[in-house]
Structure 1
Amino acid sequence: MNKTDLIDAIAEDAGITKASAKKALESFLTNVAGTLKKGDKVSLVGFGSWSVSQRAARDGRNPQTGKTIKIAAKNVVKFKAGAELDGSVNTPAKKK
């Protein structure tokens, strides 16, 4: 599912226009990104939580030349699935 498919599904499920669904989705994404940028955590009970952690600088290797390179430290976004999401994904398929 891509962004357009998600917008279509939200519009249909919520009984709203695609334009309204797009606005709502973009607002959600903007707010999640803004909160993470501030270093805060975003939690949706049952669905999951997003957080930011620091990845330390490290040495890497250029696969073409084999030379050692320095990889800079950076912030990375992590997502941990909630119990309901995890359960829905890991429920065995029913046999027909």
Structure 2
Amino acid sequence: MKYTDIVDQVSTATGSSKADAKIATDAVFASIKAAISSGEEVPVKDFGTFKPKETAAREGRNPATGEKIQIAASKGVGFKIAKGFKDALNA
């Protein structure tokens, strides 16, 4: 599914124009992004929870040469699926 497909489905489900659906979709994603960037979890009922996730710096190896390298610390997003959604997927 592409972003435009999401906008189309929001437009159809709400009976709004595609321009209004795009504004709403952008606002939802911007809100989620802002909350996670500030360290908050974002629970979405019957869908799951988005959580900020930090990975510490660590030592790794270059697979081609075997040379030790430093892998920098990074931030990302974790997602824990809601039980009802998981059950629906596995039904």
Flag whether TM exceeds 0.5 (same fold): yes
4+ aligned runs moved over 4 Å, structure 1: none
Could you tell me how far apart the structure 2 residues matched to 1:11 and 1:48 are? 23
After TM superposition, list the pairs within 5 Å mapping 1:1-96 onto structure 2. 1-91=1-91
Could you tell me how far apart the structure 1 residues matched to 2:18 and 2:62 are? 45
Shift of 1:82: 0.8
Equivalent pairs, count: 91
Q: Which runs of 5+ in 1 are unaligned?
A: 92-96
CA offset digits 1:18-49 (Å, max 9, x no partner)? 11111111101111010011101101121111
Could you tell me how far apart the structure 2 residues matched to 1:25 and 1:90 are? 28
Q: Which runs of 5+ in 2 are unaligned?
A: none
Identity %, equivalent residues:
34
Could you tell me how far apart the structure 2 residues matched to 1:44 and 1:14 are? 19
Please report the TM-score for the alignment, with normalisation by the length of structure 1: 0.86
Shift of 1:53: 2.1
Could you tell me how far apart the structure 2 residues matched to 1:65 and 1:56 are? 23
RMSD: 1.2
